[in-house]
Amino acid sequence: MPEFKQNYFQKRTKHRGPRSNRRITSTEVQVITSDGKNLGVLNLNEAISKAKNENLDLIEIAPNANPPVCKIMDMGKFKYDQQKKANKAKKKQKKIELKEIKLRPVTEVHDYTFKIKNAQKFLSKGDKVKFTIKFKGRELQHSHLGNELMERIKQDMQEIGRVELQPKFEGRQMIMVVQPL
């Protein structure tokens, strides 16, 4: 059996995050000190030596600038702060879901009011609601009942939401999507 090098199976990964110290490709960089002072444009080796004197790293903050902007700071602290910012932004995100409410053209009044209350609750939470009226058998000949039901739903949803997708037929069912105001 042939022997393989150990790194033969290892996946090569691209470095994540900003470049630091010797990974910076530019020869000249704009340097900002750890306390926020601008040192101006320096040679890369000179900037790295200044960072090493303070026992910190030279981190590329704006790589697309000309020359690239680098800051003298601790790499571990920088990565930790970035992770905190990402987590905070993720917490503030609101994921909008599409809730579906299924009806029939012959749905009774009590069932209808119950489902409308649920739809209003979904809309108040910020989710979209998809109303589906399913027609079975000969009910398809009475599509006007579905249209009347959709109009009634529009009237009941007027204060809390607005129609995003007007009622339309898809096969044997009628669909309408309502989004929160």
Q: Which of 117, 123, 169, 122 is nearest to 143 (CA)?
A: 169
* Angle 139-176-116 from CA coordinates, rounded to 5°: 85
pLDDT at 117: 94
pLDDT at 142: 87
pLDDT of residue 11 exceeding 70, the answer is no
CATH fold of 16-82:
Ubiquitin-like (UB roll) (3.10.20)
pLDDT of residue 9 exceeding 80, the answer is no
Average pLDDT over residues 32-40: 87
Q: What is the pLDDT of residues 166-179, one digit of tens each?
A: 999 988 999 999 99
pLDDT at 18: 81
pLDDT at 19: 83
d(CA 105, CA 136) in angstroms, rounded, equals 9
Domain boundaries, the chain: 16-82, 98-180
Q: How far, CA to CA in Å, does 174 sit from each of 132, 154, 179?
A: 6, 14, 17
Average pLDDT over residues 39-56: 89
CATH class of 98-180: alpha beta
Q: What is the pLDDT of residues 115-165, one digit of tens each?
A: 999 999 999 988 999 999 999 988 888 889 899 999 999 999 888 899 998
